[in-house]
């Protein structure tokens, strides 16, 4: 596990690697992937984080960003995906501090694909702007955002799929779901598709809903407290996002971290 305290350019090793961002200052990081890599990045402390990643042609790269910060962070990310490379960017956002994140993914060359996913347990302000742009033909972009919004949470997701003219036979998809347990919870999801090419395949799905009173009553009638029900239902709602990670180590990391956070709800 490598500690990152200052600005760095990182050439990712093949296989699995871990980084911890822990700094009192603003930080700029660049990750280059020339081989297949699975990267776990744990954010402990930082103010403004600026991240750029490059996936060389024919690489398969996955990043899991686990936010463990105790105070507000601002993240600006840009991911460049070259020909026939595949990049997965996963966010675990279950800490109790605000996040302002701007994610930009460029599917720069033919055959590039990217999947951006997030699992959020929201009890404060979480604001994500995600943009995946198909710049080249035969590119594939997908976003999956699953959120449980608690009473004090405020969720805002602006998910933008964009296909430029000439990026024919490209695909742009997105799914965003938010669940709450109480009335009067703030959750806004803006699914956007900006398509400038005729020959594409695009979709978006969105749902925001509250747990049914009858479901809560049913679980409680077996002895579970409201908090235990919240934990159980949230676990069931958010855990499927871990399936988007193909790497077993990353998947287990996300599962463990989320389980710990969700158990804290009880």
Residues that bind another protein (CB under 8 A): 212-215, 217-226, 228, 232-233, 235-237, 239-240
Residues 6+ apart with CB under 8 A from 256: none
CB of 205 vs another protein, minimal distance in Å: 16
> Which residue carries 């599962």 as its tokens?
255
Q: Minimum Å distance from CB 134 to another protein?
A: 32
> What is the number of other CB atoms lying within 10 angstroms of the CB of residue 217?
10
CB 183 within 8 A of CB 173: no
For another protein, give the closer residue by CB, 165 or 213: 213
Least Å from the CB of residue 259 to another protein: 11
Nearer to another protein, 184 or 223 (CB): 223
**What is the smallest separation between the CB atom of 143 and another protein, expressed in angstroms?**
20
CA distance 170 to 140: 6
CA dist 254 and 105 (Å) reads: 22
| Cα separation of the two ends of the chain | 31
Q: How far is the CB of 240 from another protein (least distance, A)?
A: 8
Distance between CA atoms of 46 and 56, rounded to whole angstroms?
28
CA angle 29-139-141, nearest 5°?
65
Task: Please identify, using beta-carbon distances, which residue of 124 and 239 lies nearer to another protein.
Answer: 239
DSSP structural state of residue 183: T
Tokens 């990043």 belong to 63
52 burial (CB, 10 Å; 0-12 / 13-18 / 19+) is middle
CB of 163 to another protein, least distance (A): 33
Q: Which is nearer to another protein, 6 or 212 (CB)?
A: 212
Query: Which residue lies nearer to another protein by CB, 24 or 212?
Result: 212
């Amino acid at each position: 596990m490598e500690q990152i305290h200052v600005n760095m350019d990182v050439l990712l090793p093949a296989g699995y690697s871990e980084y911890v961002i822990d700094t009192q200052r603003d930080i700029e990081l660049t990750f280059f992937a020339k081989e297949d890599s699975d990267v776990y990045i744990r954010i402990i402390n930082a103010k403004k984080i600026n991240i750029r990643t490059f996936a060389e042609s024919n690489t398969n790269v996955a990043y899991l960003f686990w936010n463990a910060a105790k105070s507000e962070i601002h993240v600006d990310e840009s991911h460049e995906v070259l020909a026939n490379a595949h990049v997965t960017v996963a966010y675990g956002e279950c800490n109790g501090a605000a996040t302002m994140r701007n994610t930009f993914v460029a599917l720069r060359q033919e055959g590039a694909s990217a999947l951006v996913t997030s699992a959020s347990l929201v009890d404060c302000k979480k604001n994500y702007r995600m943009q995946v742009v198909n710049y080249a033909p035969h590119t594939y972009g997908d976003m999956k955002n699953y959120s449980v919004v608690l009473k004090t949470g405020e969720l805002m997701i602006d998910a933008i799929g964009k296909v430029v003219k000439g990026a024919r036979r490209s695909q742009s998809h997105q799914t965003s779901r938010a669940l709450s347990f109480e009335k009067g919870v703030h959750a806004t999801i803006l699914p956007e598709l900006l398509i400038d090419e005729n020959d594409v395949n695009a979709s978006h799905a969105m749902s925001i809903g509250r747990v049914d009173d009858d479901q809560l009553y049913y679980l409680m009638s077996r002895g579970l407290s409201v908090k235990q029900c919240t934990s159980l239902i949230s676990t069931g709602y958010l855990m499927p996002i871990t399936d988007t990670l193909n790497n077993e180590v990353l998947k287990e990391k996300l599962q463990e971290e989320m389980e710990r956070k969700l158990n804290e709800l009880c």
